[in-house]
Amino acid sequence: MGRGTFRSQNKVGETMSFQTDSSSGTTFSPEASYISGSDRVSWDLGDGSGYVADNTLSYIYTDTGTTKTVTLRTNKLSSLDAFRGQSDNLVGNLDMSGWVNLGNVFYVQGNPLLTGITHGASTNTFTQYFAYSCGLIGNHNMSMLTGLGGQFSVSTNPLLTGITHTASTEVFSQYLANNCGLVGNHDMSMLPGLGGTFQIYQNPLLTGITHTASTEVFSQYWAYSCGLTGNHDLSMFPELGGTFRINSNSLLTGITHTASTRAFSQYQVYACNLIGEYDLSMLSGLGGIFRIDINPLLTSITHTASTQRFSFYYANSCDLTGNHDMSMLPGLGGVFFINNNSGLTSITHTTSTQRFSQYRASDCNLSGNHDVSQFSGLGGSFRVENNPDLTSITHTESSEVFQNYWAYSCKLTGNHDVSGLLRLGGNFQTYSNSNLTGITHGTSTIAFTNYDSKDCNLTGNHDVSMLSGLGGSFQIQTNPLLKKIINPQSTKTFTTYDARGCDLDYINFLPLSGATFVGAEIKLSDNSMSSGEVNHILQDFLSNKQLNPSGWNEVTLAIGGSNGNVDGTSGGYNGTAAINALVGSYDWTITYNTP
């Protein structure tokens, strides 16, 4: 029968009623579908307009803010299997108890005033059950729906405290109950077809999830930001993979896996309370984003061989102890953080050609040599500072750009060879290594913002002539055996050049004539220089000013202390005349020794 109008006194068939506050400006468009064939469905819209006959509606009410009771009439409710009422401003409880063959698709999502749904027993199969972004309150009872499966979503119902299921052998490609108010344990032990996308995250009062065995493939398993407590058993899922997130469960002490060869693009269990050894030896497809950081009682991680590429590997801020074996992960790269593990004494790597943008193993207890010669793509930010027993670092050649290279406050001993790092630059810090006697650089044109090797034991010559990007703050003070600095030809801007407290002879500053030192500080005091060496340096500064008038203004120079007196003849140079010119004509401020 086509669309038509029935009078309200028509009493044929069965009815169901529900409420809506759909108003002018919105379209009210519910739909009921038949199991097979066709039958008569009509709707009383509750506004006095009578019945409209059709299985679908597209109606705009004229009122605003009024709750109407809508009545659906059909020959038999049992002949209907699908209901669509998404974003129809449904109000209160939706009573579907007469739909004993409900299945196929059930859409009531996007109804924020829908507080409950009452179902009747149905054995029909569901392909989609959507009740997300509603206002469901308390427990949602689905124990009468034995054909539940396919895509299931009740997410974003913040007052939904529980879901009751019954046994179903249907396969789930999607199960979403995230952003709700689920409380206690969520029992899914009756759903052996669970797989695909599983999301139950952001349920802060959810303390556990009970599963049963499933051979379905998981592409997502998300249970993060809940209240999961104790061990979470996933040993029944041999096809787990894809994106796995169970992070931010502060009472979660462990996870039990079974063997899976599925590839992981994410594995995140950070900010939990994992205790002791964490065994991942059964997951051969681990890769992508791996985060297990901020587990302060986690003492070790056991891996198995995986050929997957890693873009992130975070195991920082745990309690990793002894050696951390990563020799089975040839795809390591991207961002690698294992810092803040005070008991971690070593890391075993294998060869990887992946590019590293960050490598951080600072604030641990790395001892002896730290070998990263397996990484030809090392670059970006490299940090191993604050490892008081770290005596050396072995690199291989890399053409990646470095923004940070921090190896300060360690125990670097002898010469530190970074000559293979062909694009070293940025912020270079190796200070406070009292046994460090030398640093060997390779040629690099990358700009330096900071070069800090103060408070070491640098001995003899310190050659930075191959670093044409040297600039910013250059600090090499307090190296009492340092005799000579060989400067590069650099055109960069310096803020500080600090080489005080060493045992330096003459320093040739002429290669830096093209650099900019406007307003910079140059500190050369307390180097036991002779008067001739002091005079020579002052004469070089005057030459630089004359060669580069705009680049050497308003410099503050300290060249006194244990150095010799400035005069007009020592070494064949007139230091007094140079000072008079620099101070009188070029606005320099100079502290020096007078005869």
The mean predicted confidence, pLDDT, of the chain is 96
Q: Tell me if 541 is assigned to some domain.
A: yes
Q: What sign has the CA pseudo-torsion 341, 346, 352, 356? A: positive
Instruction: Count CB-CB contacts under 10 A for residue 92.
Output: 15
Least confident piece of the model among 37-51, 53-67, 149-163, 424-438? 37-51
Average pLDDT over residues 489-506: 98
Beta bridge partners of 32: 83
For residue 432, give the nearest of 406, 400, 454 by alpha carbon: 454
% of the chain residues with pLDDT over 70: 98
% of the chain residues with pLDDT over 90: 95
Q: 4 pLDDT exceeds 70?
A: no
Domain of 469 in residue numbering reads as 447-595
Q: What sign has the CA pseudo-torsion 534, 538, 539, 544? A: positive
| pLDDT value at residue 12 | 56
Cα 593 from Cα 595, distance rounded (Å): 7
For the segment 133-174, what is each residue's pLDDT rounded down to a tens digit? 999 999 999 999 999 999 999 999 999 999 999 999 999 999
| pLDDT value at residue 35 | 87
Q: How confident is the model at residue 7 (pLDDT cuts 50, 70, 90)?
A: very low
For the segment 343-391, what is each residue's pLDDT rounded down to a tens digit? 999 999 999 999 999 999 999 999 999 999 999 999 999 999 999 999 9
Phi/psi of residue 521, each to 5°? -110, 130
Q: 5 pLDDT exceeds 80?
A: no
| pLDDT value at residue 212 | 98
| pLDDT value at residue 1 | 33
Phi/psi of residue 414, each to 5°? 75, -145
Q: 201 pLDDT exceeds 70?
A: yes
Q: Tokens 């041999």 identify what position?
A: 238
Cα 531 from Cα 534, distance rounded (Å): 5
Q: Which two tokens stand for residue 325?
A: 């074996």
| pLDDT value at residue 452 | 98
Q: Which two tokens stand for residue 408?
A: 């300060």
Q: Tell me if 587 is assigned to some domain.
A: yes
Model confidence, pTM: 0.93
Q: What is the CA angle 512-517-519, rounded to 5? A: 165
Q: Tell me if 100 is assigned to some domain.
A: no
Q: Tell me if 536 is assigned to some domain.
A: yes
Average pLDDT over residues 521-550: 97
For the segment 164-181, what is each residue's pLDDT rounded down to a tens digit? 999 999 999 999 999 999
Residues 219/240, Cβ–Cβ less than 8 Å: no
Q: Tell me if 182 is assigned to some domain.
A: no
**H-run or E-run covering 586:** helix 575-586
Q: Tell me if 190 is assigned to some domain.
A: no
Residues 518/495, Cβ–Cβ less than 8 Å: no
* Residues comprising the chain, all counted: 595
Q: Which two tokens stand for residue 71?
A: 């009545």
Q: Tell me if 343 is assigned to some domain.
A: no
Cα 587 from Cα 590, distance rounded (Å): 10
Count: domains in the chain: 1
Q: Tell me if 499 is assigned to some domain.
A: yes
